Chains A and B, each alone.
Chain A
Amino acid sequence: MRKKSLLAIPFVVGCAALLAPLSVLAQNSEGFVHQQREMMQEANPAEHWTWRGEDLFHEARGPNNVSLEECDFGLGPGVLEGAHAQMPRYFPDTGEVMALEQRIMHCMQELQGFSEDSDEVQVRHTGTVEGSDLVAIATYIGAQSQGMEWDTPRQYPIERQYIKAGEEMFFYRAGPWDMSCQTCHAEQGKRIRAQMMYDVDVTDEVAIAISWPAYRIGHGTVRTDEHRARGCYYQMRWPGIDGEGPAWVAVWSFLRDAARGGPVLTPHLKR
């Protein structure tokens, strides 16, 4: 299986190179982009990150020489099936609402003993499979929710408050360009240049848009939701958003709630 998929990579990259400019030229390009994605989904290069993440997850690592199998992602230690579909969630052991990346970082530090400043914990945006442990592990865990429905918990009051505050953030206009998330994501069928924008009121559109980690064809690497949020606030001309901060988790809590019942496609394939 692995060998077959490996051989498919040059084909996939070649297709992407050929198809990307065409998608821009097509009169109504979104249908075409969708087709392109469907065609390539079966040979998604993100599989390489999933394999490496699997190795990293089960290997005894770090100063404490233990694996991440004891890490609880909300459904019990080492239970990964459906874990990503049900995050962000409140974790009583830390007293925090955490998204997947933050929970991985927490366990790498607390269980495995990696220091906060170590590359293993800090490198989160990279162009290669080997570049970031966190991205690989997140891809592996995300893949265990593929085909399920987004179902962010709202059991604890703080989880519900994060969802509500995230909604307020979604509409908060600020910065020199006066932008909020609503600027681009509150009407159906709108595009920024050739890129179709999801509409926050359409469950399946949100579900697809927030299906990270995903292999981004244009970047040639897997990206996480942290990377996506950073790019949005950057283009909105806001100050940088910190992937370890609670505001970021609140926005994603709201978006996951907006996607509730829609499909989890991780690891997804994006333009």
Chain B
Amino acid sequence: MSTWYLSHQILIQSTFISLLLALSIQVPLRAGVFSFAGIGSYAIGAYTAAILTIRFQVPGIVAIGAGVLFAAVVGYLLALLVARLSGLYLGMATISFALFLAVVATNGGDLTGGATGLYGAISTVTTEHVLAVTAIVVLLLAANERGAFGRRVDAVREDPQLAVSLGIDVIRLRRTVFVISGALGACAGGMNSLLRTTVSPETIGFHLVVTALTMIIVGGALSWAGAAIGAVIFTWLPTVLQFVGEWQLLVYGFLVAIAAVYFPTGLLGLLQSGWRWFRARGRRIPAEGAGALEPDAAEEPERVLSALSSAEARQ
């Protein structure tokens, strides 16, 4: 176990960092906010942590914490700026925000190290720290996906107008989501640059958007667990499927395309509906004879309704 752990340390680190990055897109997406600002926050976090570590030799936790705070503030300001936008327009605005930051990093002169980036950001951050941070983040997110707050987020995603009429402060929730997304992205970026001791503009780009989206879409966008499934799959797939080798990108493309077209709820959604089907089947089999009629009759209106709505959707 421990030799395996040591020899796969880099992969373990990148699994958790990708998970945090994926969560920075998944959290807004769950609230129906199509924002890629998390990628920009990743850049902010990565550069802030590296600059603070190299120039002022601050401890790793302070460097990352400063990046997280800074990105959270930027996230709030961005939320105020793009408050009018929604859907694809919001997605495009936040993508351009993230890519703009990459160009800024290239042109930052001495502060950001230009096109070559920064080297030698040595700190005491270890895999255990990454694990602990990710565990706390996941616990908090999992708690927020349940109960009243979770239902509120669901309402805002499914029908913002309805949510407003139910007294949910949609605008405030959207701002909160931007702040959380900024903090998560910056946390991932900061930890990544301190663990790798380097950051360069090439590591921030459109490919990062693709990576994060890939994980969320294949895993499932509606829960942190989906992002976790995605992060594990796409970090470990290259090592498992070594024969895929140079066609790795092609496999990724196919996976994302198939998931986006045919399984919009991702692997998590498939697992959930499979589990529900399994349980429902288990319940019906023993109830033969007189008892069998009752649940059937109770399900009848529901089934009729769902048949109706699917017929409507097809039109």
A and B are partners in one complex rather than unrelated chains: no
